[in-house]
């Protein structure tokens, strides 16, 4: 019997977009989703932050605004809703928009869990318990056909193995290409591997790194799960300083240059085993990166 990850890979397609939509008004979010769809990207991923938009209601807005685009939570925090709400919310969405919703679940980070009144001391065990509760839920509504695939935010080997065993696959975030090869080895051939890739469309390397540090690396180098992941891949403490990291670290996790350079990084992930790469574009200007995605669409096709 084929692993559910193969169906999830087909659902997502090879290339997607990852974007934080928290600061955009609903009308902007709808327009952005329609633009992503018109540019022929397969999926649109977005986070669930502590002080941002709720993940499942945002999915419904995005799905209703588009016709074919797959919408994926990257990720819906397990601390934000109980297992019954996650399971039955996903079922309701999948019934309304068949084949167009992927439920990404994750343990998020210690500060987020603490702010919501939870303890983060055993995140792996918390995820196992959450999945057990999801699988035990009852639903009186019509069973969606097909059901929404679920993927897990996963960096380390234990969570990657759990993603292979209890989900359709994994959604690693803030990772270099080297992680993709490791993740595929742990997951095996069946599960979907949907990798987020940061990108700056800027040919001046110094300026590109400034943008990447301000918008991306500085934010995540204070979080232990990302630091542990990068240390496992050989990065030293000197690379992981909270000011945004070394040039080597920035270059490893953020593709920068022209459209061809960014496409080349995406292709590296795919050559190492990624089924799907969702590109997160960073820019110095405010607002959603529509001009950059237009410039990248042909190179990424």
Look up residue 170 and give its two tokens.
Answer: 């994994």
Q: What is the pLDDT of residue 111?
A: 84
Report which secondary-structure segment, H or E, holds 265.
helix 259-271
Task: Please compute the mean of the pLDDT values over residues 258-284 and round it to a whole number.
Answer: 98
Q: Is the peptide bond between 204 and the residue preceding it cis, with omega within 30 degrees of 0?
A: no
Task: Please compute the mean of the pLDDT values over residues 22-43 and round it to a whole number.
Answer: 98
Q: What is the pLDDT of residue 146?
A: 96
109: confidence class by pLDDT, cuts 50, 70, 90? confident
Q: What is the pLDDT of residue 183?
A: 98
Task: Please compute the mean of the pLDDT values over residues 10-31 and round it to a whole number.
Answer: 98
Residues 6+ positions from 211 with CB-CB distance below 8 Å? 200, 202, 282, 283, 284
Q: What is the pLDDT of residue 112?
A: 86
**CATH 3.90.550.10 is held by the domain 4-300:** no
> Quick check: 2 pLDDT over 80?
no
Q: What is the pLDDT of residue 113?
A: 86
- pTM strictly above 0.75: yes
Look up residue 2 and give its two tokens.
Answer: 């084929």
Taking alpha carbons only, the member of 40, 76, 43, 42 closest to residue 58 is 76
**Residue 210, SS3 per DSSP:** helix
Q: What is the pLDDT of residue 117?
A: 87
Q: Is the peptide bond between 146 and the residue preceding it cis, with omega within 30 degrees of 0?
A: yes
> Quick check: 110 pLDDT over 90?
no
Alpha carbon distance 189, 99 (integer Å): 22
Task: Please compute the mean of the pLDDT values over residues 228-246 and round it to a whole number.
Answer: 97
User: What is the rounded average pLDDT for all residues in the chain?
Assistant: 97
> Quick check: 300 pLDDT over 60?
yes
Say if residues 262 and 273 touch (Cβ distance below 8 Å).
Answer: no
- Reported as a single tens digit per residue, the pLDDT across 66-100 is 999 999 999 999 999 999 999 999 999 999 999 99
Q: What is the pLDDT of residue 220?
A: 97
Task: Please compute the mean of the pLDDT values over residues 95-118 and round it to a whole number.
Answer: 93
The secondary structure of 15-47 as a DSSP string is EEEE---TTS-HHHHHHHHHHHHHTT-SEEEE-
Q: 49: buried, middle or exposed (CB in 10 Å: 19+, 13-18, 0-12)?
A: middle
Task: Please compute the mean of the pLDDT values over residues 152-179 and round it to a whole number.
Answer: 98
Report which secondary-structure segment, H or E, holds 280.
strand 276-282
Alpha carbon distance 52, 248 (integer Å): 31
Say if residues 238 and 183 touch (Cβ distance below 8 Å).
Answer: no
> Quick check: 1 pLDDT over 70?
no
283: confidence class by pLDDT, cuts 50, 70, 90? very high
251: confidence class by pLDDT, cuts 50, 70, 90? very high
Task: Please compute the mean of the pLDDT values over residues 274-291 and round it to a whole number.
Answer: 97
Q: What is the pLDDT of residue 4?
A: 96
């Amino acid at each position: 019997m084929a692993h559910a990850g193969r169906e999830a890979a087909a659902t997502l397609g090879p290339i997607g977009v990852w974007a934080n939509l928290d600061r955009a008004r609903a009308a902007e979010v709808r327009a952005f989703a329609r633009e992503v769809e018109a540019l022929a990207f397969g999926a649109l991923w977005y986070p669930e932050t502590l002080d941002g938009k709720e993940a499942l209601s945002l999915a419904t807005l995005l799905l209703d605004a588009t016709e074919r685009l797959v919408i994926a939570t990257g990720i819906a925090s397990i601390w934000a809703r109980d297992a019954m709400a996650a399971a039955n919310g996903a079922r309701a969405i999948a019934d309304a928009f068949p084949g167009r919703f992927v439920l990404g679940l994750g343990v998020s980070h210690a500060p987020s869990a603490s702010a919501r009144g939870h303890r983060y001391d055993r995140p792996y065990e918390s995820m196992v318990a959450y999945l057990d509760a999801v699988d035990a839920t009852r639903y009186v509504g019509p069973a969606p056909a097909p059901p929404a695939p679920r993927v897990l935010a996963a960096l380390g080997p234990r969570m990657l193995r759990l993603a292979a065993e209890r989900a359709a696959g994994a959604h690693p975030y803030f990772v270099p290409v080297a992680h993709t090869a490791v993740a595929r080895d742990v997951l095996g051939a069946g599960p979907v591997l949907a990798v987020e890739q940061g990108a700056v469309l800027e040919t001046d390397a110094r300026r590109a790194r400034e943008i990447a540090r301000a918008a991306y690396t500085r934010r995540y180098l204070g979080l232990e799960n990302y630091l542990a992941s990068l240390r496992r891949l050989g990065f030293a403490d000197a690379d992981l300083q909270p000011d945004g990291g070394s040039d080597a670290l920035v270059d490893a996790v953020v593709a920068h240059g022209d459209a061809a350079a960014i496409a080349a990084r995406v292709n590296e992930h795919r050559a190492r085993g990624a089924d799907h790469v969702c590109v997160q574009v960073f820019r110095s200007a405010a607002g959603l990166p529509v001009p950059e995605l237009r410039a990248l669409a042909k190179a990424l096709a």
